[in-house]
Structures are given as structure tokens and as C-alpha cells.
Structure 1
């Protein structure tokens, strides 16, 4: 049988791992902040990003989010391909460079 102190240590370690996992997730950026970032030249216009993304991954646009991940502004674009798969395309919002293309789970 586990002691109370062992159970507490396991719980505390689990919470630390959970907290670290949550900390690496992206933070969404709202429309007002996005307008400010655009006017300051810190991100590219969405139209420009979508032109680049659709050239790489054709299909129907489902969703776009502007996030900050590890200090980098990222457009997270979801595209429904002709084959019915949803593809997630992450693009550096400042440079327009495609960072990652993967099936959306």
C-alpha cells in the first residue's frame, strides 16, 4: 500500500508534467492584437499567407488562427483537401515561410 507522502509526490510530479505540457502550447492572438502586429510589420497580411499556403496545399480553407509558439508568430491554417483529409499548415507569420505541413488529427 502506498503511503500518503508517496501518493502526494506522484500527484505533484504529474501536475508538474501537465503544467510543462500546457506551457509549450500556442497562445491564440485576437483580432485587435493581430491588427496591431500587422501595422507594426511583425506579421504579413493573411491574404499573402493564404496565397502561399494554397499554392502548397490546394483545397478548401477551413480555419485560420494566429498564434505565438516559442516566441514566433505563426499562422495555423487548416485546409480540406480534395481527398477529404484535413491538412494543417503552420507558417511563420513574419516571413511567410511554411514551417510544417501535416495531417490534422
Structure 2
């Protein structure tokens, strides 16, 4: 008999932790037009940049600009989880490499 992939309790489905696929792509800070800044696993899909496990950096909390966040969020940084962000490449302003271990 095989092991179940999901378990339902009170009408909520739970999945096995080892069945969840890790997001592909390196973690990066993505700056979009209109002031939107996200951090997450970045990939490209045709004419779109896709940020998986995206978090919106609502308030940087820096004194020397966005580059301070390369080594992870600061004490005053405010971040909101948003899931997956898909934006057209024409909206992409810049992509900033970060220390992967500080943004996990």
C-alpha cells in the first residue's frame, strides 16, 4: 500500500512536506516600475519576469539605499508575503543579487 500524498482534516487538505517542490532560481531583489520592490526566487517566462515565494519590500528601513538589503533585511525593513509575482519585462528596472543564505 502506498503512502498518502494528502490528508484532510476538518475540510483542510494537508500535503507531505517532502512533496513540496522548492522554488527554482536564485533569490534576488527585483525593482519594478511604479516603485514596486520584491525579493524572491527569480525566473523568466517569455516576456515576463516571475518571482516565486515573493515578498514585497514595503519599507526598506535603510539609511544608504536599497543596496544595504543585499545582506538580508534590516531591523526596520517591512516585508509582506505575496506569493507569485509575474511582471512584464518592460516593467523591470533592475535585479540585484543578494546573499542567498540571508534571504531564505
Give the TM-score taking structure 1 as reference length.
0.27
Between structure 1 and structure 2, the one with the greater Rg is 1
Ranked by relative contact order (alpha carbons within 8 Å, sequence separation 6 or more), the top structure is: 2
Give the TM-score taking structure 2 as reference length.
0.28
Larger strand share, 1 or 2 = 2
